[in-house]
Copies of this chain bind each other. A is one copy, B any other.
Amino acid sequence: MIVSSNSTLSHRDSLSASAVPIRPLPAPLAVDLSPEDSRFVAAAKATFRTLEADEPLYHQGDSSRHVYVLTRGWAFRYQNLEDGRRQILDFALPGAVFNFPGNGVLTHGVEALTDCTFSVFTREGLQTLLLRVPSLSLRLAELMAMSEARAFEHLTTVGRRTARERTAYLLIELFLRARRAGLTTGDASMTAPLRLAHLADALGLATETVCRTLTAMRREGVVRLRGRKLEVLDAGRLADEAGIDLDEALPWESIEPDAFATAALPRPHPVRPSSAAC
């Protein structure tokens, strides 16, 4: 049931193992788990929660000891200032992890962009699972690193790019991520459930500014955003304006789990370090 990547060290498929009715770990988090590991996953007793578009998963300021993993749909994280100013922190695709490690107060909120599903772990359940399955901890750390890299890139966009550059960057980023996740329709368009307010709040701009920018881009034949559909008519131009190289864009998105799996140990069983000098 766990999606295993094309690892050269692939062992017997774990499909036959004790049945896990629905899988709480979507592809980006799923690693090359042994049948025993899969039982540990089941033992973590994740539940599921389904949200409709625009529903909140939780609010900023809530206190929660649960950790959520997005398994279906789009969502976004945001932060509000007291006077209502809002900053969208990131747009999340399946595999995104929310509120890890799950102690303390939530400093951000999460809202569904489309209908979506989350698996819900208690902090303790996840913690136990992670200590039992080291490769999963490692993969989680990698995912956090990817998320951090995206946040850093976003920070540069908001801090140092012009309105036009910001808009171009966000659109090409969303498009490339959606394409990688297989969520594009045709080759140059995707269903992006975004309002102008989402783009504006993600980019630190006013909706009017985003509107003007998009109108200009539409007139120039770069992109079209109508209804909830984003068409990228000239990806090269878009990447160019965003100041990125289309061929080597978003390198952190390609941190694959098998990068680690191929170098994996015979598993937790301690290897004698003895001779290992230094």
Binding site for B on A (CB under 8 A): 36, 39-40, 42-43, 45, 77, 79, 81-82, 85-87, 89-90, 100-101, 103-105, 107-108, 124, 127-128, 130-132, 134-135, 137-138, 140-142, 144-145, 147-149, 151-156, 158-161, 203-204, 243, 248, 251-252, 254-255, 259-260, 263-265, 267-268, 270-271, 273, 276-278
Contacts and interface: CB of A to CB of B under 8 A. Distances in A.
A161 to B, nearest CB: 7
Nearest to A273: B43
B82 A141 contact: no
Contact of A107 (B140, B158, B251): B251
A39 B89 contact: no
Contact of A134 (B90, B134, B264): B134
Contacts of A260: 101, 127
Indicate how many identical chains form the complex: 2
A43 B265 CA distance: 14
Contacts of A77: 152
A25 to B, nearest CB: 15
A106 to B, nearest CB: 9
Given A104-B251, A270-B36, A148 B158 contact: no
B156 A42 contact: no
Given A45-B277, A155-B158, A268-B268, 11 more contacts: A43-B276, A45-B276, A79-B152, A85-B160, A100-B145, A101-B259, A104-B251, A128-B263, A131-B265, A132-B268, A158-B204
Nearest to A267: B131
B159 A101 contact: no
A160 B105 contact: no
A227 to B, nearest CB: 26
